[in-house]
Amino acid sequence: MAPKKIKSNDRHIKNLEAIVGDANSILFHKEDLLAYDSDGFTLHRHLPKAVVFPKDTQEVAKLVKYCSENKLPFLARGAGTGLSGGAIPLNEEVIISLVRMKKLLSVDLENRRAVVQPGFINLKLTNSISDKGYYYAPDPSSQYCCTIGGNVAENAGGAHCLKYGVTTNHILGLEVVLPNGEIIEMGENGIPDSPGYDLLGLLTGSEGTLGIVTKITVRILKNPEAKQTVLAYFDKVEDGSQAVSDIISAGIVPAALEMMDKTAIEGVEAAAFPVGHPSDIEAVLLIEVDGISAGIEEQIEQILEVCKYRNVLEVKVAQDELERGRWWANRKTGFGAMGAISPDYLVQDGVIPRSKLPEVLNKINRISEEYGLRIANIFHAGDGNLHPLVLFDARIPGESEKALAAGSACLKACADVGGTITGEHGVGIEKIEEMRFVFSDEEIIAQTDIREVFNPHNLLNAGKLFPMPGRCAEIKRDLKEKEAASIS
């Protein structure tokens, strides 16, 4: 790291530094900025102008106001674990890092809510309240290091979101700095269905394009009385998929219902947390049910019955919390595990109606053959949220592009059966063009018009989420002209 005494001659850097108060709260040397040139989506890299580390909401508001008044592009960044490039500074942005705003501000067990700063780590919340019997439900696989602010931006999901819902279902209130520097509150202290428009829902999942979240009120849940976890091995993907449908049809809502295919199993068994999955199977299901003890046994019986009916090869129930933990570590580190069997991988994130699982998995196999790249599948089967992992070697010229194209083809396959192009990883810059698979130009314009209300000069995280300008911009101009003509 460059010695901090070297000062910048850039007027803006000096002014930004004055806002955050000291030289340790800003980075502007190229060698320091390199760590911020991408996020979890590493196929694009751009250097920011600077990275600033505000300590509180007031500093964020001042930074935003300064950037806005001086027409400096800016964006917010949490832990940088996002998988679609939402935090990549495409326009030499000033990055407002929220990692120093990492306090747990309050916990209100009686009304089941907690207030955190955006840089607070997801898993720390559960760890802070588990001794009192409570937890925070959304559990992205990166939860040990990702921030709740980032989770709000991406509307993050996780294995247990099948039963409990994604992030937006657990956000009760937000404090937001708007792109003009104004601070507003959304949501009424954990009150459901507050009056007026649902700004809370609008901001959640807006991928950092409408404002910067500086305080978050979340719902916390009471720990379920009991949990049981099942592993089931199948020698046909169709049987595994059918078991997924049958379990849901039986009226069971598992806390989690995960699937991995043969290639994925090869990866997780070669990586840090092998659990001894057999190597000659085509699919494994990881099924968890939770709730009141008395009801659990009955559900497990039903699940075992369904698996048998669908020709399961082997099925076992976790004997204790230790075994359950090992199974989950094996699953949750699954993406990274692909590093053990491939130099590089690209994770995709499509969603389909559950009933289309076998059809789309077959299609993904054909895409794999067509592009000559292996594709592993690790996914939230219960809610039809696929994660095709395209394995490739970036050192081979052209293979990165081929991986991107194969990933895009997988998303097209999802959209074609009435699904969509992201379940929980966001659009960012990665899936901008794929937005056209699911939205008409009119539908995109309805959304970018809303962005303009919040972010009229498009200084905040520009170039993300929507395919603009282009055909949309043209149509928009046409519409305005038509309207002007009809008025005059």
* Rounded alpha-carbon distances, angstroms, from residue 120 to 105, 116, 142, 190: 10, 6, 13, 19
**And the tokens for 177?**
């700095």
Instruction: Looking at residues 229 to 268 of the shown chain, list those that interact with a copy of itself (rule: CB under 8 A).
Output: 245, 248-249, 251
Q: Which of residues 81, 117, 151, 168 is near a copy of itself by CB under 8 A?
A: 168
Nearest to a copy of itself of 77, 356 (CB atom): 356
Helical spans, DSSP H, in 333-398:
334-337, 357-371
Q: Collect all residues with Cβ–Cβ distance below 8 Å to 268 and sequence separation of at least 6.
A: 260, 274, 275, 277, 330, 331, 333, 334, 337, 378
**And the tokens for 247?**
């379990």
Nearest to a copy of itself of 251, 397 (CB atom): 251
Instruction: Looking at residues 451 to 480 of the shown chain, list those that interact with a copy of itself (rule: CB under 8 A).
Output: 451-454, 465-466
Report if residue 481 touches a copy of itself, rule: CB under 8 A: no
Cβ pair 267, 338 in contact under 8 A: yes
Nearest to a copy of itself of 370, 452 (CB atom): 452
Instruction: Looking at residues 130 to 149 of the shown chain, list those that interact with a copy of itself (rule: CB under 8 A).
Output: 133
Instruction: Looking at residues 201 to 230 of the shown chain, list those that interact with a copy of itself (rule: CB under 8 A).
Output: 201-202, 204-206, 210, 222-223, 225
d(CA 348, CA 420): 12
Report if residue 193 touches a copy of itself, rule: CB under 8 A: yes
CA angle 212/215/217 to nearest 5° reads 125
Report if residue 413 touches a copy of itself, rule: CB under 8 A: no
Nearest to a copy of itself of 22, 182 (CB atom): 182
The least CB distance from residue 435 to a copy of itself, in Å, is 6
d(CA 488, CA 204): 40
Report if residue 150 touches a copy of itself, rule: CB under 8 A: no
Q: Which stretch binds a copy of itself (CB under 8 A): 1-9, 236-244, 387-395, 435-443?
A: 435-443
Nearest to a copy of itself of 373, 459 (CB atom): 459
CA angle 28/30/33 to nearest 5° reads 65
Nearest to a copy of itself of 7, 482 (CB atom): 482
Q: Which amino acid is at 289?
A: V
**And the tokens for 299?**
């559900």
Q: Which amino acid is at 71?
A: K
d(CA 488, CA 482): 10
Closest CA to 40 of 96, 95, 91, 79: 79
Nearest to a copy of itself of 235, 246 (CB atom): 246
Closest CA to 296 of 231, 223, 226: 226
**And the tokens for 271?**
């990586």
Report if residue 294 touches a copy of itself, rule: CB under 8 A: yes
- Residue 67, burial from CB neighbour count under 10 angstroms (0-12, 13-18, 19+): buried
Instruction: Looking at residues 328 to 387 of the shown chain, list those that interact with a copy of itself (rule: CB under 8 A).
Output: 351-355, 383-384
Report if residue 418 touches a copy of itself, rule: CB under 8 A: yes
Q: Which of residues 67, 199, 255, 429 is near a copy of itself by CB under 8 A?
A: 199
Report if residue 288 touches a copy of itself, rule: CB under 8 A: no
What is the sign, positive or negative, of the torsion defined by CA atoms of 31, 35, 211, 404? Answer: positive
Give the neighbor-by-neighbor strand order of the sheet with 26-27: 26-27, 50-52, 94-97, 74-77
Q: Which of residues 421, 429, 459, 472 is near a copy of itself by CB under 8 A?
A: 421
Report if residue 151 touches a copy of itself, rule: CB under 8 A: no
Instruction: Looking at residues 41 to 80 of the shown chain, list those that interact with a copy of itself (rule: CB under 8 A).
Output: 69
Segment holding 288, helix H or strand E: strand 283-291
Q: Which of residues 20, 72, 166, 459 is near a copy of itself by CB under 8 A?
A: 166
The least CB distance from residue 471 to a copy of itself, in Å, is 16
Report if residue 111 touches a copy of itself, rule: CB under 8 A: yes
Cβ pair 282, 261 in contact under 8 A: yes
Q: Which of residues 194, 342, 400, 458 is near a copy of itself by CB under 8 A?
A: 194
Q: Which stretch binds a copy of itself (CB under 8 A): 94-102, 154-162, 259-267, 390-398?
A: 154-162
Cβ pair 346, 390 in contact under 8 A: yes
Nearest to a copy of itself of 3, 195 (CB atom): 195
